[in-house]
């Protein structure tokens, strides 16, 4: 069944792969982007997810074009890597605003329409470092761990209305975000990854497709790691 899907941060990286995958499987997909162009066949909405008015407008625009959002994939995210003691407060705020507060706000707005439909899917893109911690990523890890608490609380609040809320926790994935990693840090990640390689955005997209599809109808509050085994068991 074709669903109205909104993926935040869908012009590049993991979000783009998710949007392409879901559009390729027949869904009506829209993405938010601040710059760049959306994939072919995907509607692009200009939106900074930290701007509440822009988020409301984006959801209205998608509803008008594809119908009320039935599937929200909260993917947009940033890092500002530095040891916490050397991190300016504004960087901490920026990470928390983008990676946590914006997700809470968007989930709240999207869930409102899903309640009426008594069906919906929320997928939050977290990270393996939410569970392992990561030196230089204190605020990022805190935000990504916060998404797990958010998802599990919403799973309780929205479950009775047929809405599932799940988390995908990628490991090291090759995108713009990880391109700048110090080679030594990248090696550490690979050494901690049983599959001994970085993942591809398409591999994360496949997990998201599973969670939004009918085969995942009885799965909520789950964390699905997509990290080649990075952090397993944590």
* Smallest distance from ligand NDP to CB 18, Å: 9
* Residue 90 binds ligand NDP (CB under 6 A): no
- Residues in contact with ligand NDP, counted by CB under 6 A, come to a total of 29
Binding mask 117-136 for ligand NDP (x = CB under 6 A): --------x-x---------
DSSP result, the chain: ---EEEESS-SSHHHHHHHHHHHHTT-EEEEEESSS-PPTT-EEEE--TT-HHHHHHHHHHHHHHH-S-SEEEE-------S-GGGS-HHHHHHHHIIIIIHHHHHHHHHHHHHHHHT-EEEEEE--THHHH--TT-HHHHHHHHHHHHHHHHHHHHHGGGTEEEEEEEE-SB-SHHHHTS-HHHHHHHHHT-TT-S-B-HHHHHHHHHHHHSGGGTT--S-EEEESTTTTTT-
Is 140 known to be catalytic?
A: yes
Among 39, 140, 173, 230, the one annotated catalytic:
140
* Residue 137 binds ligand NDP (CB under 6 A): no
Binding window for ligand NDP (CB under 6 A); candidates: 42-50, 114-122, 131-139, 208-216: 42-50
* Smallest distance from ligand NDP to CB 55, Å: 9
Residues in region 20-39 near ligand NDP by CB under 6 A: 32-36
* Residue 77 binds ligand NDP (CB under 6 A): yes
**Is the Cβ of residue 146 or residue 170 nearer to ligand NDP in the bound state?**
170
Contact set with ligand NDP (CB under 6 A): 8-9, 11-15, 32-36, 48-50, 75-78, 98, 125, 127, 170, 172-173, 175-178
Indicate which residues carry an active-site annotation: 140
């Amino acid at each position: 069944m074709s669903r109205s899907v909104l993926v935040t941060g869908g012009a590049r990286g993991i979000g783009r792969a998710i949007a392409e995958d879901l559009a390729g499987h027949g869904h009506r997909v829209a993405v938010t982007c601040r710059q760049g162009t959306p994939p072919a066949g995907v509607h692009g909405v200009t939106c900074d997810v930290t701007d509440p008015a822009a988020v409301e407008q984006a959801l209205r625009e998608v509803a008008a074009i594809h119908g009320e959002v039935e599937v929200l994939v909260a993917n947009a995210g940033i890092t500002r890597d530095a040891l916490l003691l050397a991190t300016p407060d504004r960087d901490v705020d920026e990470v928390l605003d983008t990676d946590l507060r914006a997700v809470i706000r968007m989930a709240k707005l999207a869930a409102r329409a899903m309640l009426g439909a008594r069906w919906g899917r929320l997928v939050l893109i977290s990270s393996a470092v939410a569970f392992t911690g990561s030196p230089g990523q204190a605020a990022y890890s805190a935000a990504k761990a916060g998404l797990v608490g958010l998802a599990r609380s919403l799973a309780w609040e929205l479950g009775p209305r047929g809405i599932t809320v799940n988390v995908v926790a990628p490991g090291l994935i090759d995108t713009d975000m990880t391109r700048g990693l110090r080679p030594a840090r990248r090696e550490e990640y690979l050494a901690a990854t049983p599959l001994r390689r970085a993942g591809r955005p398409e591999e994360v997209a496949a997990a998201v497709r599973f969670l939004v599809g009918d085969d995942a109808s009885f799965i909520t509050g789950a964390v699905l790691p997509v990290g080649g085994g990075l952090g397993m068991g944590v």
